[in-house]
């Protein structure tokens, strides 16, 4: 086919859409927007009406089952007027009318007329679009570490928006990027390197997922995206939770004070494998024990703090975190 020939109206609409900023509803809006097009575009565009998926598929039919097998198939076929393709791409009457009148068409995204160019959206704008329907599932997404970093929903879910990969059913487990750690390490490459160390959580072996510990969509601390810091650790390591009669204050703050969660060269994922770990806090201890008798005698001979203070997470019998009762 030859190049598309635009009429005067089509040219005007195309230029205006290219020049105007995209105005978005807030990420916490509910329900479907009246239109994803800027409301200040010409009256003809702002008054566009929904035409339905069958009209869309007259032209967008290269893969007949593309829309019927995807994650959004319910919206395409069970929703009211205005859902389906148009709930994301905008009401399509102006778009459809223009291309019915200008049949010499080539699939060039730069020539979009009367419809939203989703590829041009920022991460925040993409997420606002998705949250029209998914806000109730992920209400804290705008506060998440990912959202604050400008990551959009389909930076992870891009391949699943219309249909699943060939030969895969569109089940929630498959369609959800959280089920595949490979998505995460594309951006978090330094963490991927830590998983290759001798001692690590069993993520590479497929026994754990990043989402087991980290909140992908919110509900986490800002610095680590962890589900409740120690609370998440205790779901697997409940024996260290306490409460203990004698608490070790460092462990109450964060397991990460002593442990490197992704991987370490030290056993038990310790950040250091000798007394240097303990003296980060205890060298200036008010007790003044370190370096004095009886500690100097033992530590000078190569003993470890852990040899005596083995109940490092807390004790119910001894304030010095020693297994003996005294």
User: What is the reported pLDDT for 266?
Assistant: 94
Evaluate if residue 161 carries a pLDDT over 50.
yes
User: What is the reported pLDDT for 196?
Assistant: 93
Q: What are 198-227's pLDDT values in tens digits?
A: 999 999 898 988 888 888 887 655 455 564
Q: What are 271-301's pLDDT values in tens digits?
A: 998 888 888 887 755 555 555 556 767 777 7
Task: Give percent of the chain with pLDDT exceeding 70.
Answer: 59
Mean of per-residue pLDDT scores for the chain: 69
Evaluate if residue 270 carries a pLDDT over 90.
yes
User: What is the reported pLDDT for 219?
Assistant: 65
User: What is the reported pLDDT for 5?
Assistant: 36
User: What is the reported pLDDT for 307?
Assistant: 86
User: What is the reported pLDDT for 173?
Assistant: 41
User: What is the reported pLDDT for 8?
Assistant: 38
Q: What are 29-64's pLDDT values in tens digits?
A: 333 333 333 333 333 455 778 887 778 777 776 544
User: What is the reported pLDDT for 111?
Assistant: 56
Evaluate if residue 1 carries a pLDDT over 70.
no
Residue 159 pLDDT level (bands cut at 50, 70, 90): low
Q: Count the neighbouring beta carbons within 10 Å of the beta carbon of residue 269.
A: 20
Mean pLDDT, range 181-199, rounded to an integer: 88
Residue 268 pLDDT level (bands cut at 50, 70, 90): very high
Evaluate if residue 108 carries a pLDDT over 60.
no
Least confident among 121-125, 179-183, 292-296: 292-296
């Amino acid at each position: 086919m030859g190049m598309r020939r635009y009429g005067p109206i089509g040219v005007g609409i195309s230029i205006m859409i290219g020049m105007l900023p995209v105005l978005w509803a807030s990420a916490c809006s509910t329900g479907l927007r009246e239109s994803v097009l800027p409301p200040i575009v010409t009256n003809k565009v702002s008054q566009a009406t929904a035409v339905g998926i069958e009209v869309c598929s007259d032209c967008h039919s290269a893969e007949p089952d593309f829309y019927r097998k995807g994650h959004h198939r319910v919206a395409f076929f069970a929703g009211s007027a205005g859902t389906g393709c148009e709930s994301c791409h905008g009401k399509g009457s102006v778009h459809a009318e223009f291309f019915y009148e200008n049949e010499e068409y080539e699939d060039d995204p730069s020539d979009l007329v009367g419809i939203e160019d989703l590829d041009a959206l920022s991460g925040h704008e993409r997420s606002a679009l998705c949250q029209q329907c998914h806000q109730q599932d992920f209400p804290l997404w705008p506060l998440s570490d990912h959202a604050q970093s400008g990551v959009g929903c389909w930076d992870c879910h891009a391949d699943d928006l219309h249909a699943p990969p060939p030969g895969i059913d569109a089940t929630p487990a498959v369609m959800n990027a959280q089920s595949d750690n490979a998505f995460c390490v594309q951006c978090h490459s330094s963490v991927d390197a830590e998983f290759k160390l001798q001692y690590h959580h069993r993520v590479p072996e497929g026994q754990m997922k990043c989402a087991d510990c980290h909140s992908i969509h919110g509900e986490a601390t800002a610095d680590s995206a962890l589900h409740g810091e120690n609370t998440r650790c205790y779901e697997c390591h409940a024996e260290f939770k306490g409460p203990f009669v004698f608490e070790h204050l460092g462990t109450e703050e964060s397991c990460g004070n002593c442990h490197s969660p992704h991987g370490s060269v030290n056993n038990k994922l310790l950040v250091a494998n000798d007394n240097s770990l303990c003296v980060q806090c205890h060298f200036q201890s008010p007790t003044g024990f370190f370096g004095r008798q009886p500690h100097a005698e033992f530590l000078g001979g190569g003993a470890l703090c852990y040899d005596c203070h083995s109940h490092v997470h807390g004790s119910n019998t001894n304030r010095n975190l020693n297994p003996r009762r005294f």
